[in-house]
Amino acid sequence: MKILLLGAKGQLGIQFQKEFINRRIDYLAHDVDSLDICSKSELKNVVAVYSPDLVINCAAYNNVDVAESNNYIAEAVNYTAVADLTEICNDLNIRLVHFSSDYVFDGEKNSALYVETDNVNPINYYGRTKLLGEQAALSVPSNLVFRLSWVYGDGTQNFVYKFLSWTKQNQVIRVSCDEFSVPTHCSLIVDLVFRALQNDLSGLYHLCPDGYCSRLEWAKEVLRHKSLSNIVIPTYRAEFDLPAKRPFFSAMDNNKLCRDLNIEIPEWRFFLKEI
């Protein structure tokens, strides 16, 4: 099996590369410095020349706040490039694995977990582009799309890394108590993507651990896990005055994936051992 990995230097891309090496999988990895997925001709050329069995697209524009003012880049990476990639892969009969986001939801479900068939209604520009991207990828029935939330792993662009760096500078840290989702470690994502491929799944899945939490609870668990004495105090997200609106409650239900793989996924706290 030959795999082409895009967005290879991001946190999820790094985790996939570790697993490819463990499993001795033949793969080719690119990030924006060697292959900008917004260049359809380059993308087509790389896919055609390498001729993989599978393309895993971890590339994305994830700056939710900047996306509000820089619509073009978010749409180009999260939607147009994904539509191009879908077409290129489909023409060559190559399967595509792609990742979407809990931000396709508006967060108004009143504390019930979101299932795959729930209505989508993104409330920020990033969410709109991720929705268009997942719809493009899902236009080919054999493709696999996983919606993810609060991803963390190796790298600096995640809440755990940022929070731990704040603990070095401040004894008291304010964290929002009115924002809920499911922290999801990259190791779980990679494990379940491989299982889904082995079980020949296709279509749309919510991929996350069991349970959910507020950002405040997440921060407290990180402190407990690292035996740190910092104090977190609750605040409301509105106090941060961020450019992009975010859903207050976007936790997803993983039952469809558990049922189709015949597995149980531990609660989100279990995966803090990875940090």
Strands 180-181 and 213-214: antiparallel
What φ, ψ does residue 162 adopt, rounded to 5°?
Answer: -65, -45
Q: Smallest Cα–Cα separation from 189: which of 230, 158, 233?
A: 158
**Which one, 62 or 214, has the nearer CB to ligand NAP?**
62
**Which one, 35 or 171, has the nearer CB to ligand NAP?**
35
**Which one, 37 or 223, has the nearer CB to ligand NAP?**
37
Q: Are 107 and 250 in contact (CB under 8 A)?
A: yes
**How far from the centroid of its chain's Cα atoms is residue 169's Cα?**
28
Q: How far is the CB of 171 from ligand NAP (least distance, A)?
A: 27
**Which one, 115 or 233, has the nearer CB to ligand NAP?**
115
Residue nearest ligand NAP (C-beta atom): 10
- What span, in angstroms and rounded, lies between the C-alpha atoms of 253 and 169? 36
Q: How far is the CB of 31 from ligand NAP (least distance, A)?
A: 5
Q: How far is the CB of 229 from ligand NAP (least distance, A)?
A: 27
**Which one, 162 or 233, has the nearer CB to ligand NAP?**
162
Q: How far is the CB of 267 from ligand NAP (least distance, A)?
A: 18
**Which one, 10 or 122, has the nearer CB to ligand NAP?**
10
Q: How far is the CB of 17 from ligand NAP (least distance, A)?
A: 12
The strand pairing partners of 97, in sequence order, are: 56, 144
Q: How far is the CB of 227 from ligand NAP (least distance, A)?
A: 25
Q: Which residues would be at the binding site for ligand NAP (CB under 6 A)?
A: 6-7, 9-12, 31-32, 36-38, 58-62, 77, 99, 101, 130, 148-151, 155, 157
Write out the two tokens for 59.
Answer: 């590339």
Extract the runs of DSSP E, i.e. beta strands, from the chain. Answer: 2-6, 26-30, 54-57, 95-101, 144-148, 151-152, 172-176, 180-181, 184-185, 203-206, 213-214, 231-235
